[in-house]
Structure 1
Amino acid sequence: MIWTLPVVPPLQITYTVNPQDAWELWSSVRKDPEEENKGGEEVKENSIDIEEVMSFMQALKSHFYRHFRLDLSAGSLNQVSTALGSAKYNGRIKISNSKYMITTLTLLTECALLKMPI
């Protein structure tokens, strides 16, 4: 993640998170679909709630503050990157040309073709 803090001159912070640590943090803030289904409505297991994302981001900001005493909430998140691609604040999305991405797109294409009516 790349954050920009509004100081003179602007401070750009690159924040890298270990994938295993990010997964453990995500698992800790992820809501249990069974627990959320109190009204008897059908809940999709693969859906992500905005509150979960907000909790995840707040936990990352808190962790950064504990270690470096810089409040990322004062700035803006300009870019998020993973091994599969990146997304920027200005709306640009870049998908990598890695073997993982090609495999993922191939798998998605095959799944879509299997579900198409003939």
Structure 2
Amino acid sequence: MTDEEKKNQEKAKQIYKEQQEYIEKLITEKKLPELKALTRKQRKELDKSHNNYLKEVFTDKRSPLVVQESCYDWILDNVYKSFNFSDLPNNVCLVFGRMIYDLTYGDKLSEKN
């Protein structure tokens, strides 16, 4: 790995850390709901919706970014039905959705709230 690649990797890690801290702040302030991994049932429903980007074949009609964003929208709309994300900035919603997705597929065991 080149020095430039190492710098970029470190920068990406720092951005990811800052995003997580910001989302956690919003959760503490009750501006976002608590993070929770999908249950197996919810993950299977996500698969059936053809929005699970780890399991989709990408085509000219649906690019990886489109499927990823659809995945996060599906999570927000179906797992957090009672929370209204409509007026939040899109980037906050995308990072929140990504964090839930990461919890779902992560190695760290968690409790379902």
TM-score by length of 2: 0.40
TM-score by length of 1: 0.39
Larger gyration radius, structure 1 or structure 2: 1
